[in-house]
Amino acid sequence: TKNVYISFYNNVIPNHHTVSNNAISANFSVVANAHIGSNSAVFTYNYIASYYFYEGNYKQALSYINDALDLATNKSSTRKLIKLRNLKCRIFDKLGETNLAEKTLIEIKKIQEKKLARNRRFDLIKYEVDKIRNEKAAAERQVELNNKKREYTI
- In angstroms, rounded to a whole number, what is the distance separating the alpha carbons of residues 92 and 96? 6
The whole model's pTM is what? 0.55
Residues with Cβ within 8 Å of residue 123, at least 6 apart in sequence:
none
Tens of pLDDT, residues 94-141: 999 888 888 888 888 888 888 888 777 777 777 788 888 888 888 888
- In angstroms, rounded to a whole number, what is the distance separating the alpha carbons of residues 29 and 46? 12
- In angstroms, rounded to a whole number, what is the distance separating the alpha carbons of residues 10 and 69? 24
Contact criterion met (CB below 8 Å) for 128 and 144 = no
